[in-house]
Amino acid sequence: MREEEKIDAGVLFCPGDSELRAMKLRAHNLSAEYNGTFEDETEKRSLILQKLVGNLGENAFMQGPVYFHYGCHTAIGKNFFANFNLTIQDDARVTIGDNCNFGPGVTIVTPLHPMLANERLAMRDKNNVIKRMCYAKPVSIGSDCWFGANVTVCPGVKVGDRCVIGAGSVITRDIPSDCFAAGVPCRVIRTLGEKDSMQNMPEVLSDNSVI
């Protein structure tokens, strides 16, 4: 089994494997190339993202800088917006739905390391070769979600559709659809509904209207 296949299987793999290192180097270089562009170089940015992200829906905008670990392990839906400093450490698969908006500093991580220091330093593979190993769990984020600034999504988490995640939250467990959740660790505060409509905030709504 190739090391990338081990990632998908959820078992220990060696991040120092030559094939994986080449994939990461490509993603890191493309991320750096994107970060070196100007915001109005839209065509150049689009071409880089098409190479960098495994599956990217139409009308995506990433303010930059961005940091993808593999890139090819990430799938993002249409109408995606990410503010400054998006980081996606996509050893395992990362899936983001349509119409999602991320504030500055959102981080998604998938890798996990052994808890014991000696096991974190080195493990022995089936061929009796000593290697540094880790494992990873996929992350899934639904459609129509809004993440505030500096949200961190931990390995293995699933966030449902139409969720709002408060700034600075650390998501360590699944969040069901239609929820406002916040905190460290992140927890559901309440279910979202008509009471959250801008119609109930006329001082903010001003002379605008809800569609």
Please pick, among 28, 69, 73, 113, the residue that the annotation labels catalytic.
113
| Residue 69 among the catalytic residues | no
198, two tokens: 């801008």
DSSP letters, 139-162, are EEE-SS-EE-TT-EE-TT-EE-TT
Residues with catalytic function: 113
